[in-house]
């Protein structure tokens, strides 16, 4: 009779038995200690919560090419657009001078980011450059916009990223992302996969570990693989409902089919509290706060491409416009109540395709128009601040 596998491999058999015994002992010890400790004791696997600093990765350089999700962008030039980030996560060009006469920062979302535009056409940069030329002074103008951000994200960015660079002026523009998140999630504090303000670091580490290792050792190959994957997916399925409004996939798919109950006073009330926090924080840190309304192509009789885009997102056009206008009114109201500067882009830029490539995003001509309106408001304030600074130094 042939020897059994166990007889032929005594060392492997002993190792297997030893491992089995150790595993059983560990399992038994864990069960015993669980009963004994009754949940008392530190555990690294417990949630490790942190506040999300929602920004693009510092030092990132990315090329964006409009695709199927931009099908409602009727004046967008279809080509590659480069987005470069500095070491602090600001969109470049950013810090031009080590010792500027004045620094200003623009806070906002994709309408401030100006992704589909050449670098020097983006109004946060352009406004600073035009002011610098007019006044003959050195200005650092920072673009802290991030697609998908709402006002609570910007408050966090203000406190933890902008305050340390000690700007004299911070301009904030929010509207559409705030009412969309409040409309679907009912609160700024929610569990939305990409827009929640609180995250579990353990979940982030587990879900991103392989991606981090991949991008650390084969970043260029990984980038091409992502592009290829995106191209393949776009061939098989169209953009989900509502994706074009945010420039991303449908983050609200799980709640989109639910009947929406719109309480405009409740939504604007939550938004106004964030605006007030922004104002208080700026003043407490000796920064001049400026609020800015958001311009759009929303009008009584909308262009077909705009009406179609909003309809596909599952929203009634009239209700959408009423919410958008109501949030701009809230911005005007808070600026008036707090006696701070208001830059009313919504009144200054006509709601026409000449200035926008979709509902709210500027094309280059719209960006130039926005920059011109901004500098007309900021110029006297900038002059005053610089004169006071020079008087103090002298």
Is 378 inside any structural domain? yes
**Domains: count for the chain:** 2
Residues 268 and 360 placed together within one structural domain of the fold: yes
- Tokens coding 312: 């596909």
Is 238 inside any structural domain? yes
What integer pLDDT is reported at residue 344 of this predicted model? 98
Distance from first CA to last CA of the chain, Å, rounded?
105
Other Cβ atoms within 10 Å of 336 Cβ, number: 11
pTM: 0.86
Residues 92 and 125 placed together within one structural domain of the fold: yes
Pairwise CA distance, residues 242 & 69, whole Å: 9
Is 381 inside any structural domain? yes
Residues 14 and 160 placed together within one structural domain of the fold: no
Residues 30 and 60 placed together within one structural domain of the fold: no
Cis peptide before 93 (omega within 30 of 0): yes
Strands (E), the chain: 49-51, 61-64, 81-84, 102-108, 139-145, 169-173, 198-200, 288-292, 341-343
Helix %, strand %, coil % of the chain (to 5): 55, 10, 35
Q: Are 156 and 95 in contact (CB under 8 A)?
A: no
Q: Which residue has the tokens 């911005």?
A: 331
Residues 24 and 169 placed together within one structural domain of the fold: no
The residue segments making up the domain with residue 256 are: 56-196+234-393
Task: Encode pLDDT of 245-267 as tens digits.
Answer: 544 444 444 445 566 778 899 99
Task: Encode pLDDT of 210-223 as tens digits.
Answer: 888 888 888 888 88
Residues 371 and 253 placed together within one structural domain of the fold: yes
Q: Are 177 and 140 in contact (CB under 8 A)?
A: no
Residues 119 and 248 placed together within one structural domain of the fold: yes
What integer pLDDT is reported at residue 254 of this predicted model? 47
Residues 241 and 149 placed together within one structural domain of the fold: yes
What integer pLDDT is reported at residue 272 of this predicted model? 98
CA proximity to 365, closest of 373, 374, 354, 377: 354
Residues 13 and 104 placed together within one structural domain of the fold: no
Residues 240 and 299 placed together within one structural domain of the fold: yes
Q: Which residue has the tokens 């084969």?
A: 218
Residues 380 and 308 placed together within one structural domain of the fold: yes
What integer pLDDT is reported at residue 29 of this predicted model? 86
Is 167 inside any structural domain? yes
For residue 331, what is the domain's CATH number?
Answer: 3.40.50.1110
Buried b (16+ CB within 10 A) or exposed e, 118-139: ebebbbbbbbbbbbbeebebeb
Residues 145 and 263 placed together within one structural domain of the fold: yes
Q: Which residues of the chain have pLDDT under 70?
A: 1-2, 6, 67-72, 231-259
What integer pLDDT is reported at residue 76 of this predicted model? 87
């Amino acid at each position: 009779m042939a020897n059994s596998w166990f007889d032929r491999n005594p060392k492997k058999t002993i190792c297997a038995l030893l491992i089995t015994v150790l595993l059983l002992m560990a399992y038994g010890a864990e069960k015993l200690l669980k009963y004994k400790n009754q949940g008392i004791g530190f555990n690294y696997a417990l949630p490790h919560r942190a506040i999300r600093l929602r920004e693009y990765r510092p030092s990132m350089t990315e090329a964006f090419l409009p695709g199927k999700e931009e099908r409602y962008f009727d004046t967008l030039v279809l080509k590659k657009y480069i987005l470069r980030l500095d070491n602090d996560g600001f969109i470049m060009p950013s810090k031009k001078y080590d010792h500027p006469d004045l620094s200003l920062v623009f806070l906002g979302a994709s309408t401030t980011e100006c992704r589909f535009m050449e670098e020097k056409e983006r109004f946060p940069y352009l406004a600073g450059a035009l002011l610098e030329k007019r006044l003959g002074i050195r200005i650092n103008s920072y673009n802290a916009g991030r697609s998908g951000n709402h006002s609570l994200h910007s408050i966090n960015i203000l406190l933890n990223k902008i305050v340390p660079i000690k700007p004299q002026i911070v301009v904030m523009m929010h509207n559409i992302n705030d009412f969309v998140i409040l409309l679907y999630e009912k609160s700024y504090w929610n569990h939305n996969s990409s827009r929640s303000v609180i995250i579990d670091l353990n979940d982030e580490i587990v879900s991103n570990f392989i991606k981090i290792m991949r991008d650390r050792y084969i970043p260029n190959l990984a980038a091409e693989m992502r592009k290829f994957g995106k191209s393949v997916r776009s061939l098989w399925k169209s953009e989900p409902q509502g994706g074009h409004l945010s420039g991303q996939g449908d983050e609200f798919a799980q709640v989109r089919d639910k009947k929406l109950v719109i309480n405009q006073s409740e939504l604007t009330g939550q938004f106004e509290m964030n605006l007030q926090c922004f104002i208080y924080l700026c003043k407490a840190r000796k920064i001049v706060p400026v609020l800015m309304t958001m311009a759009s192509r929303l009008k009584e009789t909308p262009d077909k491409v705009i009406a179609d885009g909003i309809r596909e997102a599952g929203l009634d056009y009239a209700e959408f416009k009423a919410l958008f206008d109501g949030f701009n009114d809230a911005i005007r109201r808070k600026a008036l109540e707090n006696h701070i500067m208001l830059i009313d882009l919504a009144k200054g830029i006509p709601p026409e395709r000449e200035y926008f490539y979709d509902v709210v995003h500027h094309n280059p001509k719209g960006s130039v128009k926005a920059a011109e309106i901004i500098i007309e408001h900021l110029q006297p304030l900038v002059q005053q601040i610089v004169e006071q600074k020079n008087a103090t130094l002298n």
